[in-house]
Structure 1
Amino acid sequence: MQELLNYLQAGSNGVALLVAGWIYVAYIKNLRSTVSAKDEQIKIIEKNLQLWKDKASDFEKKTPEYIEEVLSKRIKLREEEIRRLSEDKDGDLELLSSKNREVTRLKHELEKATYIGRALTYYDLDSDEEIVIPESEIEYEHLGEIFVDSASILITDPMYADRYWRKDVEYEDIRLHKYTENGKIYQYGVDFEHYEDVIEELGKTPNELAKEGKLIPIEIEREYTYSLPGALYASRSKESYGELKFEKGHTGAGICVRTVYGDGGYQVYGERYKGDLYRIYIELQ
């Protein structure tokens, strides 16, 4: 009886080992299959990534900026060759003439690329794409003049100016300057009343020190509210412009830019195509 039990025990152990072995083999196969699938996914992702990189590279090479850069480099190279050939008295005159013609052609292509980079475009319904307007079909027009007394020009919607222009914001004329020699801060209206006044301890005016690079303005973070103070803060910023915000904090109320020479009259021009005004220019000097 004991022998029978031992036999059955050995048999059950063998079956258990067989089942365990089968499970292990199945697990290994599944693991290998998973790893293989992941490797395949990685390869597909890498392939797609390279494809998009190639597309991005091709697109970049079609941009006017890229074309301008390539043409400029070619022109520079050819002009250097022309100078070298000109200095060589025994040089090939035909080769020199050929290089000159090539430079002329490249400069013409550069002019076209530059135009495309700043050209007007319009949406064409028939072709369902943006079309570059030929320069010959653009009509240039003088639109008028803007008079300025705040050294800045505000671009905004007149309806917004009527409804949302804020008069509850007070202007704070805080102008800080750092003296680079010792890091001391000087404030307009406190340490000097005018930029032509001499700062006694420095022996020079703020304008003189600024010209020498010894007195530099400190940028103060301001809120560009849709108001006169906000507009002035924007135009007097380091960037010379700023987007004004509505009372709830979102942009789009307007853009205020600083003029180059302060107050005065500034001309405005437009570009017209098929009777419509597509683009305007404001001369800031």
Structure 2
Amino acid sequence: MALVDSVTEWVQIVLNAGAIVTGGIVWKMYFENLKATIGTKDAERALASKQVDYWREKAVELEKRSPEAVERVLADRISIREDEIARLTNDKNMGSEELQRVTEEVKLLQRDLDQTKGFRAVLAMEQPDPDDPEYEEYLEYLADREDGVVEMEVVFLGTVGVDSGQLMITDPFYVDDQWQSEPYLSRRSYRDTQTGAILTEGEDFAAFDQPLEILGGAAPKDLIVSGRLAQLPDPEPPETFKYSYNGACQATLSRGYGELLYRDTGEVGAGVAFQSGWGDGFYGVFGEKHDGRIVRVYVNCGADPVALAKSEPEDSTPAPTA
């Protein structure tokens, strides 16, 4: 009986062990199958993801080819180019403005330089040549001024009237001795576009508002405005100018200034004629005194002489200048 019980226990142990081994095998097979299933799902998911990426790329590519996408890309590119053009234009404008500013500064500096050169030339002319009769007197004058200090003073000399747009510098003695009575000869000529006739101022008419029979009673100025009278080119000005009113006019109208000849010798020196800066009027004349001597005279043709005279002190004190 004891033997049977012992055998039964061993049989039970063997059966239990077999059941455990069989269960382990079953569980292993289940886990292997589950693992394989999970791997398959991962592969399917990866494949699906690749397919999604593929079709997404296709969709983006097709979208890029659509008119809307092309329009958007072009609009972006145009916007970038417009911004670049605006920047370049702004840089160009700034560069042009800077260049213009610098150019104006150069012009101003050049003008100041020219004025300085002109004034320096005038100062150099103050010293007489060794051949000048007054050269010895000039040396004595310098010897008395060993310190080199010259008492300078600018005084208002008066006003000069202008009715012909020009002035003349001359020695009053020459007016009676060398002056030639010669009226102004304009020499301005006009062609009548209807008849072809040539009319010369001073020969065919004395004034532009003078009615002329040859023009049907009309005045030259009216026909010039209407275009019937056409001005012809002015003739070449003479190379020299007489000491006369006509000579002064020819000089100032052709060059703006000119030297006038002595009547007797035909040499220059009788006078100098020049245009006034602003035409007719009354202009202030100023003298620059060095130690009481007038060494320069200025005619201010661009200012009100009355205002200038008022601005001058009645008792001006000379200012020492080296």
Q: Compare relative contact order (CA 8 Å, sep 6+) and give the higher one, 1 or 2.
A: 2
Q: Same fold (TM over 0.5)?
A: no
Q: TM-score scaled by structure 1?
A: 0.45
Query: Which structure has the greater CA radius of gyration?
Result: 2
Q: TM-score scaled by structure 2?
A: 0.41
